[in-house]
Amino acid sequence: MPDSDDERFETYLKQFRPLVPDVLPAREIRPEPRRRFVLTICTVGTVVAMVILGVVTLRVLNHRTTGESAQSATVKGVEPAPLTIRRANALLATAPSYKAVMNELAFPVKRSTVPKDKQSALAVLGKEKIKL
């Protein structure tokens, strides 16, 4: 059986509260490497993203320039001379008939760029008289 004096003395002793310890350093230590890790990841990510963006932009610009020059070259080669009043008058003056002028304007004859020392197969076949 516990002595009542002992119990009272125990209660008295419990009135003395032990001092609270310093804050556990876990919270102070842990975020430091994690923050550093996140910062490193962010920096590396930003650099990689910038490099990728730069490469993509360069490729797009390069592609666009090449496309434009090719397209302009194609257009220049195909497009016939514009029909002006002067050109129409000249055609009417030189052409054998009005119908020929209309044909010339509607279906312009493409000048072949065959070198001088070579012959166009189409022209040669056109001259031959084939007997059927």
Partner 1 sequence: MGGANQNTDEIEVLYRQHGAALLLFASTMSGDRGRAQDALHQVFLKLIENESLSRAADKKAYLFACVRNAVLNDSNLQRRNIVLEADSVWFSPQDRDYAAEQNLRRALNSLPDDQREVVVLHVWGELTFSQIGDLLNASSNTIASRYRYALGKLRNSMLPKENSCAGFR
Q: Which stretches of the chain bind partner 1, using CB under 8 A? A: 5-6, 8-22, 24-27
Contact by Cβ (8 Å): 87, 81: yes
Q: Minimum CB separation from partner 1 for residue 39, in Å?
A: 19
Nearer CB in complex with partner 1: 21/77: 21
Based on CB atoms, which residue is closest to partner 1, 16 or 107? Answer: 16
Residue 21 Cβ, how far from partner 1 at the closest point, in Å? Answer: 4
Residue 3 beta carbon to partner 1: minimum distance, rounded to whole angstroms? 8
DSSP-based three-state secondary structure for 25: coil
CB of 5 or CB of 117, closer to partner 1: 5
Q: Which is closer to partner 1, CB of 30 or CB of 87?
A: 30
Q: Are 62 and 75 in contact (CB under 8 A)?
A: no
Q: Which two tokens stand for residue 67?
A: 């496309």
> What is the secondary structure of 48-72 as a DSSP string?
HHHHHHHHHHHHHHHHHHHHHHHHH
